Amino acid sequence: MGIYDLLFWVLSAIAVGCALGVILSRNPVNSVMFLILTFFSISGHYILMNAQFLAVVNIIVYAGAIMVLFLFVIMLMNLNADVEPQKGQLVQLAGVISGGVMFLVLLAAIKTAVPVSIDTNSIDIGLITNLGKVLFKEYVLPFEISSVLFLSAMIGAVVIGKKEPLTQEGEV
């Protein structure tokens, strides 16, 4: 077993362990921290696949920005283990069933998927120059469409977040 396999197994163990921690811990702040650790171990996997750019962008966007916002909301709403609403039995059952169905679909998809092997010896596969060329030549249309999607989401957020103008009576 080489250093590559060793790192792979260690990272996978951390990723799975932390992902379990996210759903098992009672305190929402601990969940967020487990999720951050999960992102770090996934970034480690990206680095093993020579995709440094993807790894670091994963850290910047998910661990650095989105999780900060998660933490933000949790802190503002002061969610603690004691105030967490307890779901009824029926809701829990529904959750288990839909989760199980989702798992089944995933399993079916993975079963028929053809594994793509990554040549870990080619150093420049995930570098930013190659990534940029692929994104802007082969996948330029999906890339641009997804950016328009982001733009519309952003505008939507601005519209929702805008203050309502005062009505004629001077009341909202």
- Site residues, another protein (CB under 8 A): 1-4, 6, 27, 29, 33, 36, 52-53, 56-57, 59-60, 63-65, 68-69, 71-72, 75-76, 127-128
Nearer to another protein among residue 6 and residue 153 (C-beta): 6
* Nearest distance, CB of residue 63 and another protein, angstroms: 6
Nearer to another protein among residue 12 and residue 53 (C-beta): 53
With a CB cutoff of 8 Å and minimum separation 6, the contacts of 31 are 21, 22, 23, 25
Q: Are 71 and 32 in contact (CB under 8 A)?
A: yes
* Nearest distance, CB of residue 90 and another protein, angstroms: 33
Instruction: Give the tokens for residue 69.
Output: 């916002």
Nearer to another protein among residue 44 and residue 64 (C-beta): 64
Query: Would you tell me how many other CB atoms lie within 10 Å of the CB of residue 35?
Result: 21
Helices 140-161 and 128-137: crossing angle in degrees, nearest 10, is 90
Nearer to another protein among residue 12 and residue 52 (C-beta): 52
* Nearest distance, CB of residue 96 and another protein, angstroms: 31
- The vertex-91 CA angle with 86 and 94, nearest 5°, equals 145
* Nearest distance, CB of residue 142 and another protein, angstroms: 22
